[in-house]
């Protein structure tokens, strides 16, 4: 990672957090708030979206871009959890009160002012993720703050209560498939002010926001929280990065984005230095299909033979610029190519800053290209192959993007990739896509109601972490993990049952369950009651702690069994210390040769033997102690 002086660059970041609420039903209909995972859908439905004329009689740029992709949308639904509302066939029902109250609680924890009369607004989306073409959203609170560990306050701009969009399953050719189970789940969107000035600070802020919402009644499963980061530097522009999956990505993404913006600014300066002007850029590509029909580059030759076209364009004076690296392993050429792919669907843009020999172009090919495109020393050309319609779109994108190089960094929404880079996702949505929802009434948040919620706010999670760490003598990170895995409430219950070993409870909830999940066990089958039953048995010394993992594993496989039944199935009966002593002595007597040979080192193998007989029935530490005793006595005797 390159080092930057972020303060000098004028780095400003903001965060946008989306969190699903755990209300019983959805926000505007009474369908259950339940995701269906990989379950096969019951029905599908094909739709198309059209852009809507804005108030100035023009179309929103981002909506047009989406429309030009000419995508078909297929919705997949389930008869038992989807109703005609999600299909955009019935007007909305009343706003879910439970969800509204959870959102108010979060807003109050963020010290925000609650809006008294909320007006449901529509936010247009043309990508198909919402069947009606807009998301219903309302601003619930504004102007709050979140305090960081060092006392710095990060402003909270607004908190919105809105509907989650449908889940995108797959894109096949020109069709996007969306699953409707997620659509309409209540969501809070929290937007901070651009008060964050450092990548690590941004990470901390995101983590704190996450901890805070997870201490309320929200969905605590993978994917239930999503975060976007806004990044800008003084010389660049504001870029929205969507889909940041992990907290640890945040500093890297910001670093790479700063690098990208700085390099785009450098290109702009270089263009000035080279005395080039935007106006001299060509307006149209040149059709090279005829002259390149016999190229040595086989995929192009094949393409032309199958009636595809090869278009090229020459950019005077651009030599070396498309090859300039903007981020790690990402050149200006990559940037143009990924935008072309996103809008026209065409993959594989070739430019002359690359080694053309890699594409198997012959010298004659290269000469033909240069001659036809009138490429001179110091120029750069770009080639794309595809059908005419796609190519028209592609070259429109290429020319406009190259033109923007004269201005610097184009404002856009980008998608986070897991190597810390980003790619073009869509144009930045303009304000002209938010308008009142004519289907619903205003919703009033009464002062009395707010007061009640205020009087019952949970403790701040970072205080919980400090206090628990001190009280139970556990590292802070484990408590944090309990919150982030949604296990804090269970921990609170279990510690009451079994206060003698907080670490064991944490290991069970965090490590054992993770290990079982990795083994493919469906640990969602283990309920809070099951955990309580297990630890009650442990407390009563009816099982040893070694039995926990096996019991969890069985419960995960057979959710219909109770913990008591599992205990019986496993024939777990606790044995007395007296019994243990007898077993130990028996094994020691049976292994005298081994003991003679290995001395105290026989401890290991013998422990295994004993554990085979008593596993889960008595504490392993006790077994070890008794075996060591017996061994020492035996060895003394033998000597």
Contact set with other proteins (CB under 8 A): 45-58, 63, 84, 87-91, 113-119, 121-122, 124-126, 131-134, 137-139, 142-143, 158, 160, 431-432, 434-438, 441-442, 444
In whole angstroms, how close is the CB of 125 to other proteins at the nearest point?
8
What is the distance between the alpha carbons of residues 29 and 551, in angstroms, rounded to a whole number?
A: 40
In whole angstroms, how close is the CB of 253 to other proteins at the nearest point?
24
Please say which residue, 299 or 446, places its beta carbon nearer to other proteins. 446
Please say which residue, 126 or 239, places its beta carbon nearer to other proteins. 126
What is the distance between the alpha carbons of residues 446 and 453, in angstroms, rounded to a whole number?
A: 11
What is the distance between the alpha carbons of residues 559 and 524, in angstroms, rounded to a whole number?
A: 9
What is the distance between the alpha carbons of residues 78 and 576, in angstroms, rounded to a whole number?
A: 55
CB atoms within 10 A of CB 360: 14
What is the distance between the alpha carbons of residues 348 and 47, in angstroms, rounded to a whole number?
A: 30
Please say which residue, 115 or 482, places its beta carbon nearer to other proteins. 115
CB 297 within 8 A of CB 365: yes
Please say which residue, 62 or 209, places its beta carbon nearer to other proteins. 62
CB 384 within 8 A of CB 300: no
Task: Indicate the length of the chain as a whole number.
Answer: 639
In whole angstroms, how close is the CB of 47 to other proteins at the nearest point?
5
In whole angstroms, how close is the CB of 114 to other proteins at the nearest point?
7
In whole angstroms, how close is the CB of 271 to other proteins at the nearest point?
34
Please say which residue, 89 or 476, places its beta carbon nearer to other proteins. 89
In whole angstroms, how close is the CB of 442 to other proteins at the nearest point?
6
In whole angstroms, how close is the CB of 165 to other proteins at the nearest point?
13
Please say which residue, 89 or 371, places its beta carbon nearer to other proteins. 89
Instruction: Give the residues across from 25 on adjacent strands.
Output: 32
Q: Where are the beta strands (DSSP E) in 84-181?
A: 113-114, 117-118, 121-124, 134-147, 153-163, 167-172, 175-179
CB 260 within 8 A of CB 326: yes
Please say which residue, 130 or 185, places its beta carbon nearer to other proteins. 130
In whole angstroms, how close is the CB of 502 to other proteins at the nearest point?
41
Q: Which of 328, 154, 332, 146 is nearest to 255 (CA)?
A: 328
In whole angstroms, how close is the CB of 483 to other proteins at the nearest point?
29
Please say which residue, 124 or 263, places its beta carbon nearer to other proteins. 124
Please say which residue, 121 or 288, places its beta carbon nearer to other proteins. 121
- 3-class SS of residue 493: helix
CB 105 within 8 A of CB 111: no
**CA separation (Å) from 299 to 82, 338, 384, 388?**
46, 20, 12, 17
Q: What are the two backbone dihedrals, phi and then psi, of residue 495, each rounded to the nearest 5 degrees?
A: -65, -25
Provide the token pair at 42. 């019951």
């Amino acid at each position: 990672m390159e080092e930057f002086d972020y303060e000098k660059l004028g780095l400003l970041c903001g965060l946008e957090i989306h969190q699903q609420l755990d209300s019983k039903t959805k926000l505007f209909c009474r369908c259950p708030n339940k995701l269906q995972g990989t379950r096969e859908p019951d029905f599908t439905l094909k739709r198309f979206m059209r852009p809507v004329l804005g108030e100035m009689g023009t179309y929103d740029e981002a909506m047009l871009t989406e429309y030009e992709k000419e995508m078909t949308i297929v919705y997949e639904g389930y008869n038992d959890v989807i109703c005609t509302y999600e299909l955009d066939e019935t007007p909305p029902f009343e706003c879910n009160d439970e969800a509204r109250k959870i959102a108010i609680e979060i807003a109050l924890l963020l010290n925000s002012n609650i809006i008294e009369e909320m007006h449901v607004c529509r936010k247009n989306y043309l990508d198909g993720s919402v069947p009606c073409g807009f998301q219903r959203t309302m601003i619930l609170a504004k102007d709050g703050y979140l305090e960081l560990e060092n006392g710095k306050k990060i402003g909270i701009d607004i908190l919105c209560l809105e509907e989650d969009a449908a889940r995108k399953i797959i894109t096949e050719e020109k069709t996007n498939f969306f699953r409707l189970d997620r659509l309409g789940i209540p969501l809070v969107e929290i937007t901070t002010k651009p008060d964050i000035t450092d990548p690590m600070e941004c990470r901390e802020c995101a983590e704190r926001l996450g901890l805070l919402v997870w201490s309320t009644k929200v969905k605590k499963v993978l994917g239930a929280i999503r975060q976007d980061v806004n990044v800008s530097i003084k010389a660049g522009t504001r870029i929205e990065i969507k889909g940041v999956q992990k907290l640890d990505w945040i500093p890297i993404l910001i670093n790479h984005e700063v690098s990208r913006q700085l390099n785009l600014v450098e290109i702009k300066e270089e263009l000035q230095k080279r005395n080039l002007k935007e106006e001299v850029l060509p307006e149209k590509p040149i059709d090279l299909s005829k002259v390149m029909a016999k190229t040595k580059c086989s995929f192009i030759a094949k393409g032309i033979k199958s009636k595809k076209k090869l278009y090229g364009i020459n950019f005077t004076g651009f030599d070396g610029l498309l090859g300039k690296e903007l981020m790690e392993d990402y050149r200006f050429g990559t940037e143009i190519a990924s935008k072309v792919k996103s809008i026209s669907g065409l993959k594989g843009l070739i430019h002359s800053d690359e080694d053309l020999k890699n594409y198997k172009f012959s010298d004659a090919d290269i000469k033909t290209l240069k001659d036809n495109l009138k490429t001179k020393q110091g120029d750069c050309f770009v080639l794309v192959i595809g059908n005419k319609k796609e190519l028209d779109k592609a070259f429109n994108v290429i020319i406009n993007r190259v033109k923007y190089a004269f201005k610097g960094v184009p404002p856009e929404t980008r998608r986070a990739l897991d190597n810390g880079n980003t790619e073009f996702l869509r144009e930045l949505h303009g304000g002209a896509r938010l308008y009142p929802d004519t289907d619903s009434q205003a919703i009033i948040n009464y002062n009395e109601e707010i007061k009640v919620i205020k009087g019952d706010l949970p403790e701040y999670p970072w205080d919980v972490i400090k206090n628990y760490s001190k009280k139970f003598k556990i590292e802070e990170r484990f408590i944090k993990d309990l919150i982030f895995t949604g296990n804090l409430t269970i921990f609170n219950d279990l510690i009451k049952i079994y206060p003698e070993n907080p670490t064991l409870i944490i290991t069970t909830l965090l490590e054992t369950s993770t290990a079982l999940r990795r083994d493919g066990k469906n640990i969602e089958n283990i309920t809070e009651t099951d955990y309580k039953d297990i630890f009650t048995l442990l407390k009563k010394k009816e099982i040893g702690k070694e039995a926990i993992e096996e019991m969890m594993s069985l419960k995960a496989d057979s959710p219909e069994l109770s913990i008591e039944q599992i205990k019986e199935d496993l024939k777990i009966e606790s044995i007395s210390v007296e019994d243990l002593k007898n077993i130990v002595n028996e094994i020691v007597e049976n292994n005298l040769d081994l003991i003679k040979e290995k001395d105290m080192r026989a401890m290991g193998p013998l422990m295994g033997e004993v554990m085979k007989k008593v596993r889960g029935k008595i504490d392993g530490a006790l077994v070890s102690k008794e075996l060591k005793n017996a061994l020492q006595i035996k060895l003394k005797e033998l000597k």
